[in-house]
Amino acid sequence: MNKRVFLGADIGGTFIKLAIMDGQGNIIKKWSIETNTSDQGRHIPLEIYESFSKHLEMENLTFEHIYGLGIGAPGFVDLSSGIVYEAVNIGWKDFNLKQAMESYIHQPVFVSNDANLAALGENWKGAGKNVEDLIMVTLGTGVGGGVITSGQVINGINGTGGEIGHITVSPQDGPLCNCGRRGCIETYASATGIARMGYEAVQNGKETSLKEIMNLNGRITAKDVFEEAKKDDQVCRKIIEKVTDLLGLVLSNLAIAINPKKIVIGGGVANAGEELLSPLKKSFRRYCLPRTADACTFQLAELGNDAGVIGGAYLVKKQLYLYK
């Protein structure tokens, strides 16, 4: 029993990432299983349990060797009860994930929103370096977020805490968002939003190299827009300018309330690196209180897809008070 470990799970719409970790957040083993969304996702807890059983056994471990499981779900979660209020992509509604998992593994299970868990992981072992106050924003298919104040993730009263993607930037004439409203920052700063603006530029007959890319590949990606901007395509430069201007405004307004030490940018769009960060930092400083901006540094996320499971291990540590 002197080798006790932590389990982490990060449930996505297509895959569930699973990992066994030590107390320092080092991954002993990680793997994925497919997300079985049949029957409103009711088989997921058993399948997670069975997969952990198999892999623990391969490591000569049992569930008695674990401190607990930290698990992220893509939806609104109640931290204390472990109920997933709603996870549209999975099919859960008022589903007690904590109870379901604990009935199998007979060890403590803690549930969090997936983006909040990723922020926790990134703060522990990644770009955050355990600062007390941090904003993480993930620019992927959508825009996700996690906010940490005084070392605690903001979950909020009914699980929508940190939903940065739905902060409104152009309420009147913005693009329609998946949430049903208009002009959420997600409609601009996500990979989908950037690609859409590139596509619209081509549709509107703008003079841009995206036209050839569209002809060649049949589509335009956010990566294309960043690459052509780097080659000084003026239309692409304007798109990046708009994206970083709006995201800088959102982050500065949030930072004025949170006063974080770090803002960590993750997700596929973050692969653009300095092409994204440099104008974003300028825009942030333009809109932010100087004192707030002075205290805050931008960093790219470091853990990639492992952030969620590592955050899971950390959530267990925090909830069980396994150290300060």
Query: Is there binding between residue 131 and a copy of itself (CB under 8 A)?
Result: yes
Close Cβ partners of 1 (under 8 Å, ≥ 6 residues apart): 64, 65
Which residue among 179, 207, 219, 234 contacts a copy of itself (CB under 8 A)?
Answer: 179
Per CB under 8 A, 166 contacts a copy of itself: yes
- By CB under 8 A, residue 167 contacts a copy of itself: yes
247 counts as binding a copy of itself under rule CB under 8 A: no
User: Is residue 315 a contact partner of residue 112, using CB atoms and an 8 Å limit?
Assistant: yes
CA 112 to chain centre: 12
CB of 153 to a copy of itself, least distance (A): 9
Alpha carbon distance 244, 189 (integer Å): 8
* CA end-to-end span of the chain: 23
Q: Which is nearer to a copy of itself, 55 or 318 (CB)?
A: 318
Q: Is 236 in the site for a copy of itself (CB under 8 A)?
A: no
Amino acid (one-letter) located at 121: G
Q: How far is the CB of 295 from a copy of itself (least distance, A)?
A: 4
**Least gap, CB of 226 to a copy of itself (angstroms):** 24
40-99: contacts with a copy of itself (CB under 8 A): 76, 86
**Cβ of residue 33: shortest distance to a copy of itself, in angstroms?**
29
The tokens for 101 are 């998992």
**How far is Cα 52 from Cα 5, in angstroms, rounded to an integer?**
12
Residue from 10, 114, 122, 163 that binds a copy of itself (CB under 8 A)?
A: 163
Residue 231: CB minimum distance to a copy of itself, A: 29
Please state the closest distance from residue 158 (CB atom) to a copy of itself, in A. 4
CA distance 268 to 252: 22
C-beta closer to a copy of itself: residue 86 or 227: 86
Question: Is 176 a binder of a copy of itself (CB under 8 A)?
Answer: no
Total residues in contact with a copy of itself, by rule CB under 8 A = 48
Whole-Å CA distances, 246 to 259, 281, 294, 298: 19, 12, 20, 16
Q: Which helix (H) or strand (E) holds 138?
A: strand 134-139
Residue 221 touches a copy of itself, criterion: CB under 8 A: no
Closer residue to a copy of itself, CB minimum distance, 235 or 254: 254
- Smallest separation, CB 320 to a copy of itself (Å): 18
For tokens 């968002």, what's the residue? 177
Residue partners of 93: CB distance under 8 A and separation at least 6: 40, 85, 86, 87
CB of residue 157 to a copy of itself, shortest distance in Å = 4
3-class SS at 193? helix
Q: Does 250 bind a copy of itself (CB under 8 A)?
A: yes
DSSP class of residue 271 equals G
Residue 231: Cβ-neighbour burial (10 angstroms; 0-12, 13-18, 19+): exposed
Cβ 267 to a copy of itself, closest distance in Å? 18
The tokens describing 66, both together, are 């674990």
**Of 63, 262, 282, 248, the residue nearest 167 (C-alpha):** 248
How many Cβ atoms from other residues are within 10 Å of residue 322's Cβ?
A: 14
| Interacting residues with a copy of itself between 141 and 160 (CB under 8 A) | 145, 147, 149-150, 152, 154-160
Contacts with a copy of itself in 265-304 (CB under 8 A)?
286-287, 289-292, 294-296
Contact set with a copy of itself (CB under 8 A): 76, 86, 131-133, 145, 147, 149-150, 152, 154-164, 166-168, 171, 179-181, 249-250, 252-254, 256-261, 286-287, 289-292, 294-296
